[in-house]
């Protein structure tokens, strides 16, 4: 069992450049040259640190969650303004909501938008998910000891979220086993502005997004996503980046659950300065999509090695995994899965007759390959490492074959449909599509402009890859 590392809880995965710079200085003072990010959008000190020096840094609280019982609040603030979102849930609204939580939570709390795909919805004990009613949230609970997630029978008002969560923590001593018991105990303990649930939560399906590189917001701003495969973010780079954020009046930096981070609001006039900064430190912002859709345990060299082995096989076989996500986990992990496909390492039996037994793995996939269903299906058990690439390619093909079909069946969709083929040009870097029928109004390209007629300096509207990066594709559209 790996030693638990010290962490800093980052409320909602959001912090200011000044806060991040101070954390970097703390890490340097403790003898580190890098920090890491966790799947709960917290900050991890990746190596052992000298506890006797903690008193020198009284502005931060060093935490080991399993020992101290303190958890981080995860949120989809990181996706606001750059990914599909509920109309009323703006960046400012997230910050107002997160600011309420003054106590140190003992339970894992998620505050998320169901229309985004970057931050999982149901990985907390207490999951607040935005409804279509402004300032009201669905609440899904999976308290310690519960095997399934259950929906609270009322919508929660934004300004009641903190006191309801704290009340739930306080009633844990009653060991409630049903959502009805929780509702009764909470209602007896506090007054709230609940609203009736008038329709079930709808979680639309979106492919997993591209979240790296310099990407456009509107006409005069950009957002930058940075991902380092070894999850060791260089302190010298981070400090210089924080100074540039302050110079550009960028107020917040956001950590993702995928051990990466995003800076939003980079002004157009400063874009070149940011690109020079990345170049100066030799930072790659063009990782393959095959690299970026993985969730690995922190500081686990075996998991990182297995990922590299599998990604290399995918690349050699020219396999697309667009829209899928993969997780590597151990038999003793107590975290909730939140990827489309899970590679689970089994407990290794002891040596027999002096021979070491090789590791074996199980493969599971989420129903419809959508982790938000919270239902996982066992695909194979006890397979060797060398069998994994082929089996994962099988699952990838199965995903594309059934994409959308099961949802239509579940919703009772009629079969009176017509399919039409349409030619588009898809960016090989971020999967954005140029459709000649609609043109690209963000760059002044009118509808019905052929791809050949685009200027030679045309760029992808999202990631600004050159025209040569757009590849001709045929897509099939269904018309009901």
> 119 and 211 in contact (C-beta within 8 Å)?
no
| C-alpha 87, offset from chain centre | 20
3-state SS class at 435: coil
Any idea which of 149-158, 215-224, 333-342 has the lowest mean pLDDT? Answer: 333-342
Share of the chain above pLDDT 90, in %: 68
Long-range contacts of the stretch 285-291 (C-beta < 8 A, 24+): 285/212, 285/213, 285/214, 285/224, 285/225, 285/226, 286/212, 286/213, 286/429, 287/212, 287/227, 287/229, 288/315, 289/210, 289/321, 289/322, 289/431, 290/314, 290/315, 290/319, 290/321, 291/227, 291/229
Spatial CB neighbours of 304, under 8 Å, sequence gap ≥ 6: 229, 230, 296
How far lies 123's CA from each of 39, 252, 376, in Å? 10, 24, 14
Q: Say what the pLDDT of residue 97 is.
A: 96
Q: Say what the pLDDT of residue 136 is.
A: 96
Q: Say what the pLDDT of residue 352 is.
A: 64
| Confidence class for position 393, pLDDT limits 50, 70, 90 | very high
Share of the chain above pLDDT 70, in %: 93
Pairing of strands 109-112, 294-295: unpaired
| Confidence class for position 2, pLDDT limits 50, 70, 90 | low
Q: Could you report how far apart the first and last alpha carbons of the chain are, in Å?
A: 54
What is the residue-averaged pLDDT of the chain? 89
Q: What is the pLDDT of residues 318-366, one digit of tens each?
A: 888 888 999 999 887 777 889 999 999 998 776 666 667 788 999 999 9
Q: Say what the pLDDT of residue 351 is.
A: 65
Indicate the DSSP class of residue 115: T
Q: What is the pLDDT of residues 444-474, one digit of tens each?
A: 788 789 999 999 999 887 788 899 988 888 7
Q: Say what the pLDDT of residue 419 is.
A: 59
Q: Say what the pLDDT of residue 358 is.
A: 81
Q: Say what the pLDDT of residue 442 is.
A: 65
Q: What is the pLDDT of residues 413-443, one digit of tens each?
A: 444 445 567 788 888 877 777 888 878 866 7
Q: Average of pLDDT values for 99-103?
A: 93
> 48 and 6 in contact (C-beta within 8 Å)?
no
Indicate the DSSP class of residue 5: P
Indicate the DSSP class of residue 63: B
> How many helices and strands (H and E) does the chain possess?
11, 23
Q: Say what the pLDDT of residue 354 is.
A: 63
Q: Identify the structural domains of the chain with CATH numbers, from first to last.
A: 1-121+203-287 (3.90.480.10), 292-408 (no CATH), 418-479 (2.20.28.10)
> 27 and 35 in contact (C-beta within 8 Å)?
yes
Q: What is the pTM for the complete model shown?
A: 0.85
**Dihedral, CA atoms, 329, 331, 335, 341, nearest 10 degrees?**
40
Nearest one of 218, 215, 213 to 443, comparing CA atoms: 218
111 pairs with which residues across the strands?
A: 75, 128
């Amino acid at each position: 069992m790996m030693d638990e590392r010290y962490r800093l809880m980052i409320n909602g995965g959001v912090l200011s450049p000044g806060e991040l710079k101070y954390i970097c200085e703390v890490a340097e003072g403790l003898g580190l040259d890098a920090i890491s990010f966790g799947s709960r959008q917290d900050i991890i000190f990746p190596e052992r640190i000298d506890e006797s020096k903690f008193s020198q840094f009284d502005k931060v609280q060093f935490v080991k969650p399993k020992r101290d019982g303190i958890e981080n609040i995860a949120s989809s603030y990181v996706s606001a303004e750059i990914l599909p979102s509920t109309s009323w849930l703006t960046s400012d609204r997230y910050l107002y909501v997160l600011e309420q939580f003054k106590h140190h939570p003992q339970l894992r709390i998620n505050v998320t938008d169901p229309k985004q795909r970057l931050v999982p919805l149901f990985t907390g004990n207490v999951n607040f998910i935005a409804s279509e009613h402004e300032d009201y949230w669905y609440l899904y609970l999976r308290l310690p000891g519960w095997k399934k997630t259950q929906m609270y029978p009322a919508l929660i008002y934004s300004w009641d979220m903190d006191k309801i969560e704290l009340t739930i923590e306080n009633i844990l001593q009653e060991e409630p086993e049903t959502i009805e018991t929780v509702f009764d105990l909470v209602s007896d303990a506090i007054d709230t502005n609940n609203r009736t649930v008038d329709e079930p939560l709808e979680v639309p399906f979106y492919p997993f997004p591209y979240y790296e590189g310099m990407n456009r917001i509107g006409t005069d701003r950009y957002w930058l996503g940075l991902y380092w495969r070894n999850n060791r973010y260089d302190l010298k780079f981070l400090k210089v980046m924080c100074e540039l954020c302050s110079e550009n009046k960028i107020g917040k930096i956001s950590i993702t659950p995928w051990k990466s981070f995003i800076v939003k609001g980079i002004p157009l006039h400063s874009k070149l300065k940011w690109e020079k900064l990345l170049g100066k430190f030799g930072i790659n912002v063009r990782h393959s999509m095959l690299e970026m859709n993985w969730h690995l345990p922190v500081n686990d060299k075996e998991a990182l090695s297995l990922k590299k082995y599998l990604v290399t096989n995918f690349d050699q076989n020219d396999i697309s995994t667009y829209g899928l996500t993969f997780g590597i986990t151990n038999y003793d992990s107590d975290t909730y899965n939140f990827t489309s496909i899970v590679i689970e390492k089994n407990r290794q039996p002891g040596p027999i007759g002096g021979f070491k037994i090789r590791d074996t793995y199980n493969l599971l996939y989420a129903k419809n390959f959508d982790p938000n269903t919270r239902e996982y299906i066992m695909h194979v058990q006890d397979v060797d490492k060398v069998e994994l690439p082929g089996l994962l390619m099988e699952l990838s093909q199965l995903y594309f074959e059934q994409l959308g079909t099961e949802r239509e069946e579940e919703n009772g969709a009629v079969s009176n449909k017509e399919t039409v083929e349409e030619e588009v040009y898809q960016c090989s870097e971020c999967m954005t599509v140029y459709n000649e029928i609609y043109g690209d109004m963000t760059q002044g390209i009118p509808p019905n402009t052929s791809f050949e007629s685009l200027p030679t300096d045309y760029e992808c509207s999202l990631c600004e890859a050159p025209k040569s990066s757009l590849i001709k594709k045929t897509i099939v559209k269904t018309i009901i």
